[in-house]
Amino acid sequence: MEKVAIYPGSFDPITNGHLDILERGLTLFDRVIVAILHNPKKDGLFSIEERRSLLEDALVDLPHTEIDTFGGLLVDYARQKGACAILRGMRAVSDFEYEFQMALMNRRLDRDIQTVFLMTGLRWIFTSSSIIKEAAQFGGNVQGMVPPLVDRALKDKYAALKDSV
Ligand code: PNS
């Protein structure tokens, strides 16, 4: 039977650290659905449509991937998609408590869906969407930490925000 995993996240925006986890996840699963959390209460820097389009560009050469959005409980979404696992990346120890809590809650909600953690590649250990946005906001160079189109999109977004104030 086809083994499907959900790779959930905010992806605001996708980073090379996310891509590293996804590429390695694809060696374990037949198909990985990259699922963007649609949270109407939380505004991101990029709209859901913008995040999806950046993901589409970044995953263009990655077969066996799919991009989707979801709301509500992750385990409900995973079940609906016929997924057997949730894929998450673990960076430094600082991720552990949050990830552990989420994995245990998800297991309590659905024992048939396993959370699979992959250790982030060493070069991406301090890469996060938040820290990248913080640097990019003030003109910091984030080239090489994000796909080229994301680098461009960050520059454009912050330039547009600057113009609007
Ligand atoms: O990239 P992020 O923001 O760390 O991803 C967090 C995400 C989307 C995995 C998490 O917030 C999530 O799964 N939200 C959906 C609600 C849910 O099912 N939460 C976990 C059990 S309480």
* pLDDT tens per residue across span 64-86: 999 999 999 999 999 999 999 99
- Residues having CB within 6 Å of any atom of ligand 1: 8-10, 37, 73-74, 102, 105-106
Amino acid type, 52: R
Ligand 1 atom at shortest distance from the alpha carbon of 75 = 18
CB 92 within 8 A of CB 17: no
Cα–Cα distance, 95 to 106 (Å, whole number)? 16
pLDDT digit string (tens) for 88-99? 999 988 899 999
pLDDT bracket for residue 111 (50, 70, 90): very high
**How confident is the prediction for the chain on average, in pLDDT?**
96
| 165: pLDDT strictly greater than 90 | no
- C-alpha distance from residue 55 to each of 12, 22, 51, 122 (Å): 10, 12, 6, 22
Cα radius of gyration rounded to whole Å, the chain: 16
> What is the residue with the minimal CA distance to atom 20 of ligand 1?
102
pTM: 0.97
